[in-house]
Structure 1
Amino acid sequence: MNLQAIKAIYVYEMSRMRRTLLQSIVSPVLSTSLYFVVFGTAIGARIETVEGIHYGSFIVPGLIMLTLLQNSISNASFGIYFPKFVGTIYEVLSAPVNFLEIVIGYAGAAATKSIILGLIILATAHLFVPLHIEHPVLMVFFLVLTAVTFSLFGFIIGIWADNFEKLQLIPMLIVTPLVFLGGSFYSIEMLPETWQTVTLFNPVLYLVSGFRWSFFGQSDVSVHVSLIMIGVFLLACMSIVWWMFKTGYKLRT
């Protein structure tokens, strides 16, 4: 394992966060704060509690997960796409560095940035709503596992994308709607029975539900099912990344 190569890629990617603090940290935190104001205050005035939980507190895990998914994907996809765009990826591929070290460097940095942002938003949430985390260790585990998984997913998008439009296509048209429809701001028990069944096919539901369980000990689906679903998606992403490097898919041309 070439730790020096991993460190070089990781440090370079992390330095981009320091250079763009306004875009990387300030903007997402302000956007999430607006969600607290709109959903927590306006809608919370009409829906006081959900499953016995204060509505403002209930939406915190969903808001963190929304930001975590969006930033994990965007950080990782842009991190690998930009070297492809300017041509420096060929220098990385020709160096004595294997694909695993490249992935750890890029995806690891993307996951780290997303985790930092998630923790900042968690701290910000305390300014708006009363919050108590029943299972803090499991909460951190879910946070890290989800950040790593979707950083790998973003890495795949970055390799697949041929232009900046494609880079935003899947996050904007698929991932964000799935998050909003995955129980981020409501319990699926509030839906008609038919839509409850449909929602069970939304993979983001299991992420949000498991993460919410770590906060309140309540969820729409079993926490064990949530962990299994995240594990399956993680293995799928790892397999696709391995195949892309093995075949040179959109990397060698």
Structure 2
Amino acid sequence: MIAFNARSAWTIYKREVARALRTAMQSILGPVLTTVLYFVVFGAAIGGRMETMDGVNYGAFIVPGLLLLTLLSESTSNGSFGIYMPRFTGAIYELLSAPVGTAETLVGFVGAAATKSLILAAIILGTATFFVDYTILHPFYTLGFILLVSASFSLFGFILGIWADSFEKLGIVPVLFIVPLTFLGGTFYSIDVLPEPWRSVAMANPVVYLVNGLRWCFYGSSDFPIATSLGMTLAFLAICVAFIAWIFKTGWRLRS
């Protein structure tokens, strides 16, 4: 059995976190400003004219959805960019020839991507207090769910960064798939208000279950049982880990 090399994982992690901090203005301030605009437009302007949704003030109702929108897009982008740059510059061959295993590589790259997403989540939640009055009914479940989602989509981003062979492909999945699916996944509404057949269509969107899982952590109510959201997230995490293990075993896109 090969022992886990914590020092190697820590070295990769520190390097990736330092890289993220060098671009803090773009990578942190940008998403925060975008989220502020959502709160101003939807929470204050539109929310002030709407009734409560699921017994929650509309401005507070959209907080979990907006938080998840940032988590999904940023975790994916951070995870993909972190592994793509070594491939782009050729530094990936140094990593592959070093005595660093798959576990250490994942902990380093994915841990750094998830850390950046968690920092953004904390900043966004702090910013939201200036615009809406929200509560977190289950703080420990909320933290655990945010960690799980961040890790899962950082792993997904890692796969995307290995698959992509250009900067255009690197950004196509977050822009064309993740963000639209999040907007259509109940970020600004409960799917119970949708008429058929749109409600059935919405239930086919996997992001719906993530949004509702986080909303349950905040307010104790959602359109689906929390076990459904948790199960789907864990299944997605397991699929990503299995696929990455296959990538490192076969060298797909890494040694070519």
TM-score range for the pair, normalised by the shorter chain length: over 0.9
Match of 2:190 in 1: 187
Q: How does 1:132-143 map to 2 (within 5 A)?
A: 132-143=135-146
The answer as to whether partners of 2:44 and 2:131 remain within 8 angstroms in 1 is no
Match of 1:238 among 237, 241, 256: 241
CA distance in 2, matches of 1:26, 1:170: 22
Match of 1:4 among 7, 15, 22: 7
Offset of 1:42 from its aligned partner? 2.3
Q: In the alignment, residue 177 of structure 2 is paired with which amino acid?
A: I
Match of 1:115 in 2: 118
Match of 1:29 among 7, 17, 32: 32
SS in 1 for 2:136: coil
CA distance in 2, matches of 1:67, 1:153: 15
Match of 1:45 in 2: 48
Q: In the alignment, residue 108 of structure 1 is paired with which amino acid?
A: G
Offset of 1:128 from its aligned partner? 0.5
CA distance in 1, matches of 2:46, 2:247: 45
SS in 2 for 1:173: helix
The answer as to whether partners of 2:79 and 2:157 remain within 8 angstroms in 1 is yes
Percent identity between the two aligned chains: 56
What is the count of residue pairs matched by the alignment?
253
CA distance in 2, matches of 1:172, 1:29: 17
Q: In the alignment, residue 74 of structure 1 is paired with which amino acid?
A: S
Match of 2:89 in 1: 86
Q: Deviations over 1:188-220 (max 9, x none)?
A: 011012111111111111111000001111101
Offset of 1:25 from its aligned partner? 1.5
Offset of 1:48 from its aligned partner? 2.8
Q: Deviations over 1:32-71 (max 9, x none)?
A: 0000001112221332311111000000000000001111
TM-score of the pair, normalised by structure 2:
0.97
RMSD: 0.8
CA distance in 1, matches of 2:160, 2:195: 34
CA distance in 2, matches of 1:215, 1:174: 26
Match of 1:216 in 2: 219
CA distance in 2, matches of 1:248, 1:192: 47
Are 1:228 and 2:227 counterparts?
no
Offset of 1:13 from its aligned partner? 0.4
CA distance in 1, matches of 2:98, 2:237: 27
Offset of 1:19 from its aligned partner? 1.0
Structure 1 spans left out of the alignment, 5+ residues: none
Q: How does 1:97-112 map to 2 (within 5 A)?
A: 97-112=100-115
CA distance in 2, matches of 1:141, 1:193: 33
Match of 1:65 in 2: 68
SS in 1 for 2:197: helix
Match of 2:177 in 1: 174
Structure 2 spans left out of the alignment, 5+ residues: none
Q: Deviations over 1:113-152 (max 9, x none)?
A: 1011101101111111001110000000110000000000
CA distance in 2, matches of 1:171, 1:200: 20
Which 4+ residue blocks in structure 1 deviate beyond 4 angstroms? none
Q: Deviations over 1:61-95 (max 9, x none)?
A: 00000001111000010000000000000000000
The answer as to whether partners of 2:135 and 2:218 remain within 8 angstroms in 1 is yes
CA distance in 1, matches of 2:51, 2:130: 18
CA distance in 1, matches of 2:109, 2:193: 40
CA distance in 2, matches of 1:39, 1:21: 26
